[in-house]
Chain A
């Protein structure tokens, strides 16, 4: 069966007439070359329906192989490509070019508050340390059951929002308190503590509340809502933090 085909010139025109020229203004830093970070512009032809991550790939693969950034799944699940795009924390793999005004240069910077290692890569160790400190795992006592630990739909619903976290650090690195003092646990750690504190099957809620009652714990939150606005999973982060605060006051959960 014959397949209808376009001639070559026609095909090339059809393939490129939806492309637009976009400037990517990227914050570059390489400690082996200079102690200062600099802005570098890249111009590329790109389909506005593509994502910022696709633009970064084009730059790295075709224009400058030294551009360094993290990405793994590239589909908004692994949480490794959080960066500051046009001044706000977002996942590069979930941000479409057409949604962020491609007429102007698109600025891409590393997330704030964590040490920049190279270009868009930051040291995530302090972030994950805060996460580990809140014991993000199920704690129970007694013999292990021979079947699943059951829970009612309402009990599951109680902490549903905070189970969505992908640990991308978009929230923690959008927090003005965290920028000023990296000792603060940060929204992500509190969200993951919330996930277990309000889980009816877990028995270490009291312990986690005590950890977050620390001077660098939940009370440092100033409710600026940057975390809620930045979360790529739409978690109501500030609401979760406020629930932990209220649980600390009332000790009822």
Chain B
């Protein structure tokens, strides 16, 4: 357990006229140390027994954001940063949680587990943030035990890994922290959208499949998720070929794959390797229906492979949560970064943390952890953003946040469900052509295993 010193600046009076300059850098005098001294008996209503008696409102609440400002995924960060900043602006405009100014301390991890370990430690122990907004699968999975030891809630828009399907969340017991696993994700997991893609393939009579995938965990995980539903529901895999990423040619692998008979072939590779492989496929004229993993639904793929790729489709998490329009309006006023699949979930992550703080009446890790489930799950007044949620909470109502990416109805393992959008490649790039509703996918994901 770590202390909270530094993240929450307390002062008399309203605190809402803070100019946002609070740096959360630990410049406190230590008088609020007791805020981290929760005895575990809190009732979720802000009744901590620390030195803060609840009458002191924090002036500034800082959240930590490990970010991919550099490294191989840095091209995704601008959208997530902009969504986070838009959420902060929106939340502060609505008065902020507990009438405090919300701010985010963003530090680069380059999606490197060792760097993530350092950054997370800095954010929690030096900056004293009560919650983290970020971390990728490739950071969370190897650091799982390390992250659990902090006992600080981490709400992340990034990870799709099946590793998190049964890990994380409050296990459906918000008040009991003993079984909590502290990781929550506001993005739909791979299990859901690979299931949606598999269902769509079977519905379109693509009963036999060839598979071309990379050897990294991400690519394998995607394929395993897809095949578990596909094969359980009557689909057959005729051939599967694994390749190393970054190759200068995939002709040998394709030659082997297309020696088999199948209706469609599933490609799960990083974008650059996929472009090389699918260009080789087009040159060789192998034909048949390509099914792509969701990161491959990119304009670059269509531009480089050419018209042969027209008709290829990918299933990706839908961006059609109930409050998507609200998000989009605020987001577009914040900058011009492109929206990607992780952008609306970043907005949702900020909203649920702010609402959890508001409901808790304090900004401690334990209080936030206890309230993430209650502000998001079914029951209570449906709210589309922090402003609505704050008003409802101040009126004594229970709330259920309706997110931008999904309804953000956290499962016991801290996961969310959502629809799957099928995007098909054509003259104008990838365009949404169909949708598999969340309800159709739920039946393929066993109860309690997501």
Q: Do A and B form a real pair?
A: no
Measured CB to CB, the residues of B under 8 A from A are none
Measured CB to CB, the residues of A under 8 A from B are none
